[in-house]
Structure 1
Amino acid sequence: MTRAEDFVKRYVEAWRTEDDDVIRATFADDAIYRGYPSDDEPAIGIEAIVRMWHDEADAPGSWTFEWHIVAEQGDVAVIQGVTTYAEGSTYDTLWVVRLDDLGRACDFTEWYVRRD
């Protein structure tokens, strides 16, 4: 398993469980989390990420996520995904993630677009 694959599996587990310890194992203490590239107020630091994670939580079992690694070189990974919600909406996503030595995201940026 590559570092990027391990990161995505932890991310999905954090998303599924909303467990603070799993979130902290997914992001570095000083990580920056951008919900979109021009995010004027990204979550900076693990405590801000944990708060944001809970503020924007999806109901358990309300979504599925399919993904694959587009590219992984050095400490940077590009991940493409599709999130489908039980209520019917589907989003295409692209993540650019820089990983630290422990495989945690230290810089995370997401692009997403809703399918019609």
Structure 2
Amino acid sequence: MGKLTTHVLDTANGRPGADIKIELFALSGDSRRALKTTTTNHDGRCNEPLLEGDTLAVGEYELVFHAGDYFASIGTKVPEPRFVDQVVLRFGIADAGAHYHVPLLVSPWSYSTYRGS
């Protein structure tokens, strides 16, 4: 059964990114459809897959991580406007039966991702 999961690591402070708002959208041409809004737990993970089973379909998706709000909430001093604020990751699902894990490694100054396992 396929599923989509994520987690966030705060690389500036060496800890999980807890209480970060994440929005998931399905993309189709120029349209964007909201699928889910969630928040990371104390371990920087979501309590359940973002999509799984029949809700996971082949197509293009977008995750929006509200990283700037997270860093502000933990007291990180950053200039306004923020250098890293909302991190938008666009990716494709080619096999709806596979596990797609899309982690975010983030600091107030940079971010990276990869297809995890």
Which has more radius of gyration?
A: 2
Q: TM-score, normalised by structure 1?
A: 0.37
Higher relative contact order (CA 8 A, sep 6+): 2
